[in-house]
Amino acid sequence: MDPLPNPSPLATRLRNTLVRYHGIADGEWRVAKKTKDATVWRKPSEEFSGYLYKAQGVVEDVANRIVDHIRPGPYRLDWDSLMTSMDILETFEENCCVMRYTTAGQLWNIIAPREFVDFSYTTNYADGLLTCGISLDYEEVRPNFVRGFNHPCGWFCVPLKDCPSHSLLTGYIQTELRGMLPQSAVDTAMSSTLANFYSDLKKALKS
């Protein structure tokens, strides 16, 4: 188990990695799922043997409010059906923390509940915000959970130029679920989870 890292260099590295993902050319992505709320693409990850997913959709709200619903805090548990618990373990400053959270089983429990410990960082990006995270090997794994690992992940939320009350939300997710799982089940779950994330978020913002 590692000690907690120095937050400032980790935050800088994480931001730079997400900005690099955000610059990947369209031609490198393959569509994995399309719904009325979002499109999900994927490409092989550079970090592990699975995929880096990109999700994008327009959300009818301002960037600050959207990001408040996504980043660690009181809103996330209320609306994200996949997340079953969340604890802030350490807070470095207002926009930087370490959290532990658990997720529900998926695909008729072929994918059992998972636990993650993530470093989370939120910062300004363009006219909007970027909230990003990466898993840490920190704290003991609790019984009845498999410890998953998030390679650099994040959400860019930027107001639309011609309609500032709406925002373009673009996410980059690469989650190593670990445990003995068929890769096809993981790929199906990831695409569906990301598409559902948008529809659940939109409902939460309207309520």
Read off the pLDDT of residues 141-199 as tens digits, 9 standing for 90 and up.
Answer: 888 889 999 999 999 999 999 998 999 999 999 999 888 777 777 888 889 899 999 99
Q: Looking at this protein, which amino acid is placed at residue 102?
A: T
Name the 3-class secondary structure at 13. helix
| 205 vs 75: CA distance, rounded Å | 10
Residue 1: which pLDDT band, with cuts at 50, 70 and 90? low
Q: Supply the pLDDT for residue 87.
A: 93
| 181 vs 169: CA distance, rounded Å | 30
Query: Is residue 53 exposed (0-12), middle (13-18) or buried (19+ Cβ within 10 Å)?
Result: buried
Three-class secondary structure assignment of 46-61: CCCCCEEEEEEEEECC
Residue 112 φ then ψ, to 5°: -75, 165
Name the 3-class secondary structure at 25. coil
Q: Which two structure tokens, joined as six digits, stand for 50? A: 């699975």
**DSSP state for residue 159 in the 8-state scheme:** E
Read off the pLDDT of residues 40-91 as tens digits, 9 standing for 90 and up.
Answer: 999 999 999 899 999 999 999 999 999 999 999 889 999 998 899 999 999 9
pTM of the model: 0.94
The answer to whether 186 and 27 are in contact (CB under 8 A) is no
| 91 vs 206: CA distance, rounded Å | 29
Domains defined along the chain, listed by start? 7-206 (3.30.530.20)
Closest CA to 152 of 80, 48, 37: 48
